[in-house]
Each structure stands twice: as C-alpha cells, then as structure tokens.
Structure 1
Amino acid sequence: MSRVRFAPTPLALVAFAMLHGGVAHAQAEPPLVLKPSPQLREDIPATTRNRLPTFLSGREVHGTPDLNAVAEGNAQLRRGDMVIMADRLEYYAPDDLAKAQGNVHINRAGNVFEGERLQLKVESFEGFFDETRYRLLRNDAYGQADRVDFLDDKRSIVRNATYTTCRRKPGPSWMPDWILRADSIRIDEEDETGQAGGAVLSFMGVPVLPVPSVSFPLTDKRKSGLLPPTIGLDNLSGLEVTLPYYWNIAPNRDATIYPTLMTKRGLDLGAEFRYLETNYQGRIRGNYLPNDPLREDDRWGFAMLHSGAFSTAAGPVALNLNLNRVSDDNYWKDFSRTTASLTQRLLANDGALYWGRGNFTLTARALKWQTLQDVTAPIVPPYDRLPQIVGRHVRNDLPGGFESFLEADYSNFQSDPVLNNQPNGQRTYALAQISRPWQKPGWFVIPKLQLHATQYQFAAPLSTGAESASRALPTFSLDGGLVLERDATYFGRNFRQTLEPRAFYVYTPFRDQNFLPNYDSAQKDFNFATIYTENEFSGNDRIADNNKLTLGVSTRLLDPDSGAEAARFGVALRSRFEDQLVTLPGAVPASDRLSDILFGASVNWVASWSTDAMVQYDPQTGRSIRSTLGGRYSPAPYRVLSAAYRLQRAQPASEQLDLGWQWPLNDLWRQPDDRLGPGRGLGEGRWYSVGRLNWSLADKKLVDTIVGLEYDAGCWLGRIVFERLQSGTSTANKRVLFQLEFVGFTRIGSNALQTLRENIPRYQFLREQITQPSRFSNYD
C-alpha cells in the first residue's frame, strides 16, 4: 500500500480531499471559502449530504489512499455546513470517522463546541467530545461540560453541564448572573427543546429553583411540560402560587392546566383547551374552587369561544358561540382577572347560526345574559333574545343604478319584568330601503327612501291595556357633498389639501311610540359618524321623528407622495326644524333648533407625534358638553408617552385624566446609540419606567393605577409592577407582580407582561424574537 506525504509550505495550505465512500487524489490548492447560498439556508437533505465531499487541510497532510488522512498544524475538516478545526486531525474513510486533538473547535450550522479531544462519525454525527465549551445559535446560549455525547445531527447529551444565555466576558473569574447547573442536558434541535436532569437554577450566586427535571425551549416553539410557577400577592386572595402544565396535544390543539393555591381561599383548579381546525377554531376555559372560606361556597367560572362552519344540504352554515357563566354575583369582584367579559357584570351567552346564498343571508341567534348584581349599585338586566331570527337581502346592481336593502327581524325578548318595569314580548320588525347614488370625482348625491314596519305581541297587557301594538312609518334622506383639492404649503411643507363640505337632510313623520316598551333601543353617541345617520336611536324600538338638516365641513392635509394624512379638521352641527316628540323612557324631548356643535381635529404632523381632539360645544350655555383630547409621543422604540383628557358634563358626569408610558430611565432625553432592533431592547444595563394612571378630577382620586419598573440586564429581565383596579364605588383589587425572565430559558414570578401589554398603549416587549437566526450568521 503506497503512502503519500506532503511537506508544509508557508505560502499555501495543502488540501487533501476525499469523496465520502471513495478516495480522490491528493492535490495542492488554496483553502476552500464557503459562501451562503439559498440552497444551504435550510437543513441539508440526507440524500444530498451523502454526496457532499469532505475537505481536509493543514500545514502538513499525509495519508493512505482509500484508507485515512492526517492533517497537522491548523488542521481543518469541512463537509457541508460543518467544520472541525484542531492541532491534529485524523480521518478514516471506511468508517467515516474523524479524530481531533488539541484546541478542537467544531461548528455545525452555527452551533459551536470547543475542547481538547473529539471523536466523531462525520456523516451520522455520532461521537463524543471531552472537556467541552459550547454555544447554541438559536438562543445564543453558552455552557461547558465534562463531556458531550453526539447522538445524531439533531440530538446531543451534555453531561455535568452548565447553561446560560449571559454573554461571555473576559477574565478568569467571570460568573454569569444566572446559570443552570445540571447532571445532564439533552439538546434536541428537531424538537427545539432542552431537557435538564438534576438541575439547579442560580441567580446572582443564589440557588432559586432546584428541580430534579426541567424542560425548556430553545426557541418559542410549543412543547409539553411543566411551566414555571407564577407567584402573585392579592389583597383579596392573599398569596397566589400557580403551577401550570402545558400539554401540546397536536400542532393545532393544546391545553393548559393551571392549579392555583391561594392562602386565603384554597386551591382553585383551572384549565384551558384551544383548538384550530380547517373549518373551525375555539377556546374553552374553566375554573373550580371548592368551598371558598371567604364566601363559604363553591366557586366556578366557565367561558367558551367558538367560530367555524359546517356543511348542510342547503350549503355551508357558520356557527359562532360566546358562552360565559360564573357561580355567583360576587365572582366579578373576587376574580376580576378571570371573568371572561369586558363588562364583567354582564356575561353574555350568545350562540348564532349564519347561512347565506347570493344576496340573501339568514341568522338564527340565542342570547341569554347573566347579570351579576351588586346591592350597592344594582343594574337593570338587559333582555335575553330567545330566539332572534334575522334575514337580509342586498342588491347593489339594480337597473338604473338603484340599490336596495331588505331586513326582517323576529325577536322574543325575556327578562325580569319587575326590574325592567315592562312586560316581556315578541317583536317582528321589517325595513325596506331603496337608494340611487350619484357619485363622480369631486361630488356625490345619495337620495334614500326607507319604510319601517313593526308588530308587537306582549306577554302581559301594557298600562294602556293593549296586548299587541303595531307601527309603520317612512323615512326620506338626502346625502350630498363635495371633495375639492388643491396644492398647499404650510410651514415649509407641501401638501395636497382637501375641502369637503357635506349636507345631510332626513325626514321621518311622527308616530306615537312612547307607550311602546323599550327592549333594545338606546341613544346613539353624538359624534361625526352618527350625526349623518337617519335614526338617532340604536335598536328597533324607537324610530326618531325627524325634520333635520346636518351641515358639516372637513379639510385634510395629505402628503402628495405617499397619500398619508398629516392633519384633519372638521366641524358639524344639526338643525332641527320641528320639536322632538319620540323619546326614550324618562328622557326629555329636545326642542332646541340647533344642536350642539361638533369640533374635531387629528394631527399627525410627524411620525413621533399624534394628537386627536373632539369637542361637543353647547352654544346656548357657551361651554362644552363633552370634550376629549388625546396625544401620543413615540420618538423611538421603547419610548412612548400617551395622555388623554375626557370631560362629560351630562349624566353621568365625569372628568378624567389618563396617562400611560414606557420610557428608559438611563437615557431620559438622549436616544442611545446601541439600538438592537425590534424585540431586543435598547441595550443591557437599562431601567425602564412603565405605567398607566387614571385620575378622576371630579373625585380627586386615582381610579385605576398600574406603575412598575423593568430592568434589562442583557441575559435576564426583571419586572416589578403594582396594580390597583377599581371593583366598586368604594372597593379596589390590589396586586404586586414580580417577574424574572431568564432570556432563552424561562420566566418565574407573576405574569406581569400580560398586565403591561393589556393596559399600556403601544407597550413593547423588551425581548421578542422577530426572525429566526441564520446558521450562516455564525459560520467559520
């Protein structure tokens, strides 16, 4: 058997290349330089990897054809996305075995291992590495171990190991702020998880979480297992400790079981199930607290959201469910964070079926409310609809440019007639509408004719003795306006300015409706959207008598290049030609010929500033009835200040100031230079102030308060948040939330992030992975 030996040369490295499974002739060539290509950005398929050549280079290379090769002095072995560097490298072709000694460095797809002795089967990536230091690309984690066993190209076991994401610093005495020590850590690149056994998590040198076994993600991919415990302090429930378990049932289904131990209440058993299928999706959540000592009763809550479609002989039918039930009236006070309703005291149980074909749609709905009463502040329960059936037909392509709209609604209203002071009943309502829009560039005119017809059947006689009632009346409206444009310059900036006058006239004759019960009508909010509508009441129990003309004008400043709106200003008022006669129960008829005047403005002159204002001005009293002024300043990521002032003189009167913010304290006015991009914060060593304050100027007290601090140490984040939320006229729920986030590993403490995201406008996470790292971002 012949033997080939090459002498080192100072001008070039000598390369010895072997095809896997065969031998190539030795030849002198410059070192191979790898460049990323689109074909190598995903994992290399096994069929392709088997055909990849192996490149061996060093200052001195010698070997035996078809058998082995040895490289010494700056030795390198490359195959595909893997490179091995060492003082000495041996490669045995029949076994595809590489042995390396002295300053060994291996980089496979961005994962780096360093040590003194390596033995590895290159293709199957099986072998071991002694006295190893490692770094993982996906989450930039580091550590060291007595030994690493490579099971294959996706899995490895790190023995007697440490693990951390704290950045390496120079110096022999460096110790990371947090570190996980474990008897073994199993790294699974395919599942993107790590499994540590015999582990202890230490923070600032103090053990904080000893666990016999812990699983943690290498990315944000879902996985089954125990989640870190959350700890909270509540003035009603005491100390709360939750130990969640996450069950990744399937890619489209999962469940979370979260038992919570409360020192004042006992053990609350909670669970949530989520599902996402091709034609439907939803979420089911439930809580059960047996024998609550503070209420001396069992407590429970249930919530379900479902939306989807299924096939029938008549075509596809959509089904939406929104179900919410709790055990008692005090549930919203005691467990405000788990009550599945924005209104808290009104829990909707709503189910609806939708079917459509062509221009026709049909809806069948059942709605039942659970009203949580408070003896200190009782509320009138809304009406259940058991059932409601609505049909609609829309045509926008009638001959002559006409458009039509037909709607029929049957509703069976049920509630407590004593609390509502009126009988239950059935209502059948129909609306027929036809319009003929004329629209051209620069102007539009839309005449519209409506016919309303209503029939009532009551469960008990009215005060007039009537057991049924009917109503029919027409409505005519005419809407028209201009859209004029010109080029303009303000403060040295060019704009495309519009002038948009608009007139809206509506006439509805009077029909006496004040004796009818009110099941679902309410006064619409007075704003720029509702002032141009035919009926000032929502619902179908009241059709306002109208002989009114609304006049308004608005102007906009548009960027001539992008079309973005830099500013908008508007004013509108309504003129009433006849006194109002149709009102809601207990309301006073309006006799003023001129309504309040609406003023509105929105300015977004630069990207960092945004302001909105709306004033409802009463010319008779010379003061505003309602005012809203809001602004936001956000000059850069993680810097946002928002403020809103709200005044309402009408009953219920209120005057409030709302402030929200997220701002770095280290750089109060100066923007730091080390921007790391979205989801990476502004650099380590920074404090952030976060919060939201809602102040009642009338009562001179805080209504809701959320104030906290965040600290970014680079590899860990700390948060402490104080929360006070009003739960009644004289009661409030208070919590202290403390959370430690070990970047790339886990979070422990209370769920402060959820509170900050839900309450602070435009709050940004300090750590939120936006893109997956490329393995070529750390390739040798």
Structure 2
Amino acid sequence: MPFSRRSSYTLTLAIIAAAPTALMGAETDTNIRDALWTCTMENGQSWQCDHPEREDVLPPAVDPAAPTVAAESTEVDVAPVVTQVNRAKPQVNGAWLCEASATGGWACAGNEPNSPVATSKPSTAAVANTVATSDTITASPKISAPVVNPPKTTAALTESLATTVTVTSKVSTPVVRQPNKTAKQQRLEALKEQADLSDTRYASQDWYPITGASRACFGVYIEPDDEIAANDNENLTVDADSSKTELGGLTQLEGNVELRQQGHFLRSNSAEVDQVSNQITMTGDIRYREPGLLLRGAQAQTNALTGETVISDADYIVHEQSLRGEAKRIIRLQDNRIRMEKSSYTTCSPSDESWQISSDSLVLDPNKGFGTARHATLEVAGTPVFYFPYLEFPIDDLRHSGFLFPSFGYSNDDGLEIATPYYFNLAPDYDDTLTPKIYTERGLLLENEFRHMNSYGQQALSTGLMFDDNEADRDRWLVGIDHTGYKGAWSSQIDFNAVSDDDYFDDLGSSLEVDRSNHLNRLAEATYSQQNWEATLRAHSYQTINDSDSPYQKMPQLQVKGSYSYDLGQEVVLSYLTDATQFDRDIEDLTGIDRVTGTRFHVQPSISVPMISSWGYLTPKLSYWLSQYELEDQIAGEDDSISRATGVFSIDSGLLFERQAGDYTQTLEPRLFALYSEKEDQQGIPDFDTAEADFSYEGLFRENRFTGLDKVSDNQQITAGIGSGFYREDGSEMAHVGLAQAYYFADRTVQLNGDTSVDTEEQSNFAAEVYWNPYSKLRFSMDTELDRNDLSPLESNFKVRYTPAINKVINLSYRYREDVRDQVEMSFIWPLSPEWTAMVRWQEDMENSQTPEALLGLEYANCCWKVRVAARQWIEDDSDGQEDTALFLQFILKGLGAIGNGSNALQDIVGFQEREENDDY
C-alpha cells in the first residue's frame, strides 16, 4: 500500500495494514474478514494494531526498534480523511480507530461520536525527527491478502544496519566534531577552523579549501557531522518520500531514501527491500558513511543478515588519513574491512592527480591500520613508475610487518648507497627492524634494531655488521644498548655503545639511534629513591674514537644523598652527600699524574637556614668536604693515601624591587654573595671528575669554581651583582639583564693539575648576561666576559632564534674566546613559496680558517608528495681536516612512505625534527 511520509507512521504499518474489506466483498469468508487487524494511532504516535476476536492471528507486538519512516523535526497537524466510519466498532478513548475503506482510503472514528473528521496534533516527543508531507493516506486495492511476517525483516534490517555506514540525501553544513583528540587530530582541527565552507566545489567529497592558505596543502577533509550523529540510539530509522509494500514480498522506497542507526548512514534515490532474502538494493546517488569514512556509488546492495554491503562504480574517502580513490566495486565487509576491485589509492586532494596506486585488488583494514594491494602500479603524473606484485602500506599509525621504503644516497668515498629496511611486528610489546644497506664501494652492511617494552621500562638493542669492508679491508661492527626503567622506588638506565674502530661513523654513518660522540657512553646505573634521600649505584666508562685522552671510568660508583627540613622557629635544612668511587682508565701513552688511578671516598654534610620573603632572601650555609683517596701509580714524592678536610661557608642574599614602566613591570634585583673556603693543600690529588667551571654570571655565585669533587677552591670573596627584568601583564619575561663581579681577599692557589699559577687578582672580570624576547617567536641571548679594566669582550656567546611557525626557523650563534675560538653557525628552514622550502646549515671556524659543515637543501611539497635534494660538504676528522662531499635525494609520497635519505642529511638543522614530527605544515 502506498503511503506518503507522516508523523511517526512506522514501516510496520505498511505490512500490518491488512487488505481492505471492500476487496473481499460480503461473500468473503468470515474467517478472512475476522483476520483483519484493528489499528489505532494515539495523538499522532505510532500505529498500534490488534485483533479482538482472533487471538491466534494476533500480529506480534510492534517492535519499538522497528525502522521508522522519518524526516525533519517539525510539528504538523494530522487530519485523517474519513471516507467511511464503522461506528459499530468499539472506540478507544483518546485514540483514532481506523480501518481500510472500500475506496482504498482509511476510515477513522474519533472520540467524538458526531465528529466524522477530526484532527490531532502529534506531540513533539512522539514525532522527533519526523514530518508529515501529506495529510492523506491511501490504501492500494492491489494488495490481495495480508502475509504476516514483518518481525523477521524488521529485526534483520535493524541488525544489519547496526554496522552499516551512513549517507545523506540533503546538503548540510559540515560541523567539526570534538572527540578526544591525538596531537595529529588537533592539528587537523586547527586546519578545519580555517576551512572556507562556502566553497562547495568539492563538498560532495567532504573537501574544503583553507582560507588564506600559505602552505603547500590548500584544503582539508571535513565530515558533515549531522549525517552521523543524527541517530545515536540502537533503533534503525528509515526515511523516504514514499513507499510501496507487497506484504511478505518487496518493499519499495522512493525519493531521498535514508537509513540511520548509531552513527551509520546510508542514502539513495530509491531502494527495494526483499523480505524473503533480506537483501536491500539501493540505486541512484549512493552515499554510505560512518565516522571517518565515506563511500559513494551508483548502486548498492546490503544483506540484512550479514551486513555486507557492495557499492558499484564507487569512490571513497578516508578522512583522517586524507585518503581517496575509486573502484569498480567496493565491498564493505562485516568486520569493517573494505575490499575494492580495480581500484586506485592516493592522498592527493580531489583537484590533484600527482600520484596514485592502481591495483587489481585493494583491501583497507582499519582494524590493523594498513592497506594491502595486489598487482599494484605506482603512477606519477599518470605515468607508471613501479610495479608491485604485492604491496602493504599504512593507513594510520598502527604497526605491521613489511618492507619500509628504501633510501638512496651517494658520496665520493662510499659510492651509491641503497638501504631497504624491513619491519617485523613481532608482538605488541616488542618489534624488530632489519636494514640491509649496500655501498657499491664498500660492500653490505646489516643494521638491526630490536625494541622491547614492559611494565618496568623500555629497551632497545642496535647492531651493525659489515664483513670485509672493501675500502677499509677489515670487518666493521657496532653495538648499542639503550634501557630506561622505573617502578616504585626503583629506576635504572643503561646506555652502552661500542664500535669496531674509530672511523666507523665517519665511514659508514648509521641510521640507528646510537651515541655518536667522540667518547661513546657505556653507562649502567640503578637508583633507589625515597622522600628525603636516594642511592645510586653506577658503572660508567667510555670508548674514545678520536685522538684525545680517554676520560676516567667510574667502575663502580655508589652515591647516597639526602635533604631534611626542620621547623625550629625558622626553617633549617640539613643535607648530605656521600660518594664512593673506583676510578680507572687506559694509561698507555700517558705520563705523570694523568696515569694515577684509585679510589675516592667523599662525605659532604651541610646545614643552611633559608630566610625568604616577597621582598628578598638571605641564606647562610655551612658545609664540610671530607675526602679520602687510595691511589695507584702515584707520582714520585706524593703519598698513595691522601686525606682532605675543608670547610666552606657562604651567605647568599638578594632584594627585589618592582615598579611600573609603561606597559611592563620592571624589577631591580641586587644580589650579594659572600664565600669563605678554607685553604687546603690538594697537591697530588688527581682530577678524576673535575674541571674548571665556565666563567659566567651564575658561576660567580657558586660555592666552588670547580665541577666535580676532587678540587675545592680556596676562595675568600664577595660577589656583587645586579639584575633587572621586564615582565608583561601575563607574567612572561620580555627582557632581562644581569651584571656581576667578584672581589677577592686572598690569592687563589688551588688549581687543576698541570697549572702551577697562582691567581692574585683582587677583582674578577665582569660577567654579563642579556635575554630579550621582543615577542614569543623571537629570542636573543648573550653571555659575555668583559675585561675589568676597559670592558672589552674576552669571551662571548651570542644566540638568536626566530620561530614564527613550525616550518619557519632561523638560528644564528656566535662563539668567541680570545686566541682560542672564533666560530659562527647559521641554520634556517624557510618557505620560499607555499610549495618550495629552503634548508641551510653552515658552520665556519674562523680561528682555523675552515668550514666544518656546509649543507644546502631544497624541498618541493604539496598535499600529497614531496621531493628533497641536499648537497653537503663536511670535515670527517678534525685532526687532518679531511673533507667529504655528498648529494642526497628523497621522494616522499604522503600516506605511503619515503624513498631516499634526504632526511638523514638534514637532521642536524635546528627545528627540522620538530617540523617532521608535526608533518602537516
């Protein structure tokens, strides 16, 4: 029986509306007439039907989860057209009593016996999301007899579309959803806020351009939220302009057919439901949607029992990953996988056909986060470039086994370099990456990284192995172990690195995350921490891979330190440090005190009384340094057993003044520091872990001018300093300046070994520091040592960093020390246009007239691909100034992977790594 959309008329009505009495005639069997149902609609709500005389033919109760024919939320007056009223039938209070008339219409009787025509205004709650487009319902005389089997079809529809995608027939303004977001999603949301929703050229594909875009990617995918969120309950809602049902056979829906259920949406121009086979066939402008996915096509079929849906002549959009493509057929399986036949895949915007992967068969698996293509061809600008019999690629950040994209490079010494990494996703808590790397001038290098994570911590094992390097004529190897762990009061760390020879990194480099300094770390430590104290057991050694002397090894070291605060009318802080260390080193080719090894036991208790207020502070502190050394290979004339006991007393004080200076708050911070250290003969004590601290503003307020525990300075001094800061209304610092100088009352005789001079100056040079942040993206900093007589700079460190955006970074630094160093370094990442970006790093050693590093990179990027080229010249070994040059090339297909190793050459540019991690720039 055909019917027009009306408030809360359920699809069940199309089935339970029995054959009209007039079609059967008076001579029709009484049992058949008695089988007719009585249907009522209370106040415009859903039809309720029963059979008063025949309990055995009562239809099942109308399922509240049955699909409803629904449209917009609008209240309407329902005026049933009464063509015949059977007043002999009992009436239900507050309800309409209706049955099919002989003319094909509905005969309805209201509560008022003398009211042949009545109107009822449906309640808003009852007709939410529905609207009547006609006030008349007509019955079709073609229906011969009622066939009662609606529950099976209704339940099947509800079950099948619980996992079916959503689509809409009406153009709606996209609304950005706000779920719990990852960092990547937050970046996408920021782009969506810039989208021009009035530009609807690609709105059918959910693509909108970015207003005033100054980046390579000019648009973003936005889901129309109303198509998904309109129906959040478990009930299936069906909406159509009209419907025709053959009871027990086919139900035909025409005009703007929409099916919704729990975030799933399916739309077409027309649909046909087979109640026997549970197949739903939809034709014309198919839109099939679920969160993050849009499928479109000309025809669709879905099985009401299995939920499998097939769309023909289709295209698809995966929003968060910015994927799109086309297919001869798209099959959405019950487990959420999407299988495509004769399909394409790309991350390019709808207006860009730069690259795509075409394949005979493509499966996108959101459960595992990757796609699988068979007989796939990579096409660039419509030209086939690579053929892959089998190809796997990521569609999100989840892990899976497979080849990663290869990298390529070339240098004078190594020749052509080709690396093809393979990733093994072994288990959720461990994985492995094997990278065979071929150097045409050297041979095959195998690099491997194994990673493991558990509830205590994480660890990684990195290895590299090359048999018989053709250039070096020897085997080359690398081992790296990295571990960090924490549980309860315990924590641990391991950082172990070893290589076969000093030239390993110069010759082969490494794609592994390992230490590459001149002194390779070999550290293992465990720490036990409590509220007021902690203990650390450490073993620390090095492998030195240049010509400098190897540092002392701590094999082992036990350190315990703690601090306790007591309120004795004034806060009193008691603290202590104990340290027991065995020092060792390779003494071959060493002479004098540099050959000395041995054990040091150190105890350092202290007491301080910090007195702090809003306008200033005063902190007196007394500490005592007690050390005992047991030495080997001691120099002639010195004892093997040395004891040292030295007291240190200091008073640190300062004031804080504030005033308004225009829009800023200015502070004036005078500071006075007094220090007295007992003079103690420390001749014969090796410098195990000790060096002289750099001269700086803060260094003049230190209790000891040496780092480490082997030397205690014999200072009797007062340091006077003054600082001033400028603060914005939000509390951020706009600028700060500081100047300090120390005044000495005695000579300083304690020096590092090998320095026999005595410092007799009564005043130190001036230490100055300046910080200036004109705004949050620009920062200047400088610290300098000024001659106390003419204020000429003796040592200066100057830095500028300008970061207006994640893809715009400028760094400049300058280091100067009279007769020691004169170095400048500059690097920047800067867009030349929305597509082109320049990357530069340049180091110049003016003291030695050489260029340690010169790198120029150029990148072209758009929404779906990038290409990078970098030229590099660098000094491999500082001792002989040997130079090498290389050219790097890298192709990146966004959403697919990278070919080449251009990124490795650019890693040392400040800001490059942050730019790569944020990706969408």
Aligned counterpart in structure 2 of residue 282 of structure 1, from 459, 471, 474: 459
Instruction: Tell me what 1:647 maps to.
Output: 816
**In the alignment, structure 1 residue 759 sits paired with structure 2 residue 909:** yes
Q: Deviations over 1:656-714 (max 9, x none)?
A: 22112111112xxxxxxxxxxxxxxxx5xx21111221122334442212221111222
Aligned to 1:543: 712
Moved more, 408-417 or 206-215: 206-215
> C-alpha separation between the residues in 2 aligned to 1:434 and 1:166?
67
Q: Secondary structure at the match of 1:503?
A: strand
Name the SS for the 1:333 alignment partner.
helix
1:405 paired to 2:575: yes
Please tell me whether the aligned partners of residues 568 and 601 of structure 1 are also in contact (alpha carbons under 8 angstroms). Answer: yes
What amino acid does structure 2 have at the position aligned with 1:760? V
Question: Is 2:915 aligned against 1:746?
Answer: no
Q: Give the whole-Å Cα distance in 2 for the aligned partners of 1:632 and 1:15.
A: 68
What SS is found at the alignment partner of 1:161?
strand
How do 1:101-180 residues align onto structure 2 when only pairs under 5 Å count? 101-121=283-303, 124-152=306-334, 154-169=336-351, 176-180=353-357
Pair 1:253-2:427 in alignment: no
Q: CA deviation at 1:416?
A: 2.6
The 3 A distance-change label for structure 1 pair 110 and 367 is closer
Matches within 5 A, 1:26-175: 29=132, 51-58=234-241, 60-64=242-246, 68-93=250-275, 95-121=277-303, 124-152=306-334, 154-169=336-351
SS in 2 for 1:657: strand
Which of these residues, 577, 585, 609, is aligned with residue 415 of structure 1? 585
Is the contact made by 1:16 and 1:57 (CA closer than 8 Å) also made in structure 2? no
**How far did residue 629 of structure 1 move?**
1.8
Whole-Å Cα distance in 1 between the matches of residues 912 and 364 of structure 2?
36
Shift of 1:654: 1.4
Structure 1 residues 7 and 503 mapped into 2: Cα distance closer, same or farther (>3 Å)? closer
- Summarize deviations over 1:759-778 as a string: whole Å, max 9, x none: 2236653784689xxxxxxx
* Counterpart amino acid of residue 2 in structure 2: R
**Cα pair distance change 1:123/1:770, threshold 3 Å:** farther
Change (3 A) 1:768 1:458: closer
Single out whichever of 65-74 and 112-121 deviates more from structure 2.
65-74
Q: Specify which of 248, 266, 273 is matched with residue 450 of structure 2.
A: 273
Q: 2:747 aligns with which of 567, 575, 579?
A: 579
User: In structure 2, do the counterparts of structure 1 residues 443 and 509 end up closer, same or farther at CA, with 3 Å as the change threshold?
Assistant: same
The residue that corresponds to 1:709 in the other structure is 858
Q: Note the C-alpha offset of 1:28.
A: 6.2
One-letter identity of the residue aligned with 2:893: F
Matched, 1:5 2:2: yes
Residue of 885, 890, 913 corresponding to 1:734: 885
Is the CA contact (8 Å cut-off) linking 2:169 and 2:256 kept in structure 1?
no
Query: Contact 2:480/2:514 (CA < 8 Å) preserved in 1?
Result: no
Q: Distance in 2 between matches of 1:761 and 1:269?
A: 30
Distance 2:905 2:892 in 1: 15
Specify every segment of 5 or more residues in structure 2 that has no aligned partner in the other structure, as ranges.
13-62, 71-129, 134-167, 182-224
Report deviation, 1:275: 2.3
Over 3 Å counting, the alpha-carbon distance change for 1:220 and 1:735 in structure 2 is farther
Deviation for aligned residue 1:755: 4.4
Could you say if the C-alpha distance between residues 321 and 381 of structure 1 is closer, same or farther in structure 2, counting changes exceeding 3 Å? same
* One-letter amino acid of the structure 1 residue matched with residue 575 of structure 2: F
Q: 1:482 aligns with which of 655, 667, 683?
A: 655
Residue 146 of structure 1: how far off its partner (Å) = 1.8
Instruction: With the length of structure 1 as denominator, give the TM-score of the two structures.
Output: 0.86
1:664 lines up with 2:837 in the alignment: no
SS at match of 1:567: strand
State whether residues 743 and 764 of structure 2, in contact with CA within 8 Å, keep that contact through their aligned partners in structure 1.
yes
The corresponding residue for 1:293 is: 470
- What secondary structure sits across from 2:775 in the alignment? coil
Matched residue SS, 2:720: strand
- The residue number in structure 2 matching 1:724 is 873
- Secondary structure of 2:528's match? strand
Could you tell me whether the CA contact under 8 Å between 1:548 and 1:575 is conserved in 2?
yes
Amino acid at match of 1:184: S
The 5 Å alignment of 1:377-526 reads 378-397=547-566, 399=568, 400-421=570-591, 422-489=595-662, 494-526=663-695
Change over 3 Å in CA distance of 1:7–1:265 after alignment to 2? same
Contact map agreement 1:20 1:93 (CA 8 A) in 2: no
What is the identity, as a one-letter code, of the residue corresponding to 2:910? I
* 2:703 counterpart residue number: 534
| Aligned-residue offset at 1:300 | 0.7
Distance in 1 separating the partners of 2:8 and 2:623? 91
User: Cα deviations across residues 465-512 of structure 1 (Å, max 9, x unaligned)?
Assistant: 5221111111111111101111111xxxx1111111111111112211
Between the aligned residues of both structures, percent identity stands at: 25
User: In 2 relative to 1, CA 29–746 (structure 1 residues): closer, same or farther, beyond 3 Å?
Assistant: farther
Q: Which runs of 5+ in 1 are unaligned?
A: 170-174, 667-682, 772-780
8 Å Cα contact 1:138-1:218 kept in structure 2: no
Q: Which residue of 2 aligns with 1:672?
A: none
Counterpart among 165, 183, 186 of residue 360 in structure 2: 183
1:233-244 correspondence runs (5 A): 233-244=410-421
> What amino acid sits opposite 1:748 in the alignment?
I
Instruction: Return the offset for 1:424.
Output: 1.4
Shift in Å, 1:81: 2.8
Per the alignment, in what secondary structure is the counterpart of residue 505 of structure 2?
Answer: helix
Cα drift, residue 718 of structure 1:
1.5
Give 1:670's aligned residue.
none
How far off its partner does 1:82 sit?
3.1
Residues 231, 749 of structure 1: 8 Å contact kept:
yes
SS of residue matched to 1:580: coil
Show the counterpart of 2:840. Answer: 691
Instruction: Verify the 8 A CA contact 1:407 1:430 in the aligned structure 2.
Output: yes
Whichever structure has more helix as a proportion of its residues is 2
Q: Is the 8 A contact 1:55 1:79 kept in 2?
A: no
Residue identity opposite 1:644 in structure 2? S
Q: Is the 8 A contact 1:132 1:145 kept in 2?
A: yes
Residue aligned with 1:765, SS: helix
Rate the CA distance shift 1:733–1:94 in 2: closer, same or farther, 3 A: farther
Q: Over residues 586-627 of structure 1, what are the superposed CA-to-partner deviations in whole Å (9 max), with x where a residue is unaligned?
A: 233322211121121111122232211122111346521111
Mean Cα deviation higher: 341-350 or 608-617: 341-350
Please tell me the residue identity of whatever aligns with 2:422. Y
- Judged with a 3 Å threshold, the aligned counterparts in structure 2 of structure 1 residues 123 and 646 are, in CA distance, closer, same or farther, namely farther
Asked whether the equivalents of residues 15 and 55 of structure 1 are also in contact (C-alpha less than 8 Å), the reply is: no
Residue 143 to residue 736, structure 1, CA distance change in 2 (3 Å): same
Corresponding residue SS for 1:525? coil
Question: Could you tell me how far 1:462 is from its partner in structure 2?
Answer: 2.5
SS in 2 for 1:334: helix
2:747 partner SS: coil
Residue identity in the other structure for 1:505 = A
Structure 1 residue 335, shift from structure 2 partner: 3.2
Q: CA deviation at 1:252?
A: 3.4
Change (3 A) 1:549 1:161: same
More strand by proportion, 1 or 2? 1
Please give the alpha-carbon distance, in whole angstroms, between the structure 2 residues aligned to 1:122 and 1:251: 36
CA contact (8 A) 2:313 2:329 kept: yes
Is the 1:74–1:85 contact (alpha carbons within 8 Å) kept by the matching residues of 2? yes
Shift, 1:178, TM fit: 0.5
Q: What's the C-alpha RMSD, in Å, of the aligned pairs?
A: 3.1
Deviation at 1:15, TM superposition (A): 8.3
Larger Rg: 2
Q: What's 1:775 paired with?
A: none
Cα distance in structure 1, aligned partners of 2:668 and 2:573: 28
Q: Which residue of 1 aligns with 2:32?
A: none
Read off the aligned partner of 2:580 and give its amino acid letter.
Y
Q: How far apart in 2 are the matches of 1:640 and 1:714? A: 21
Deviation at 1:297, TM superposition (A): 1.4
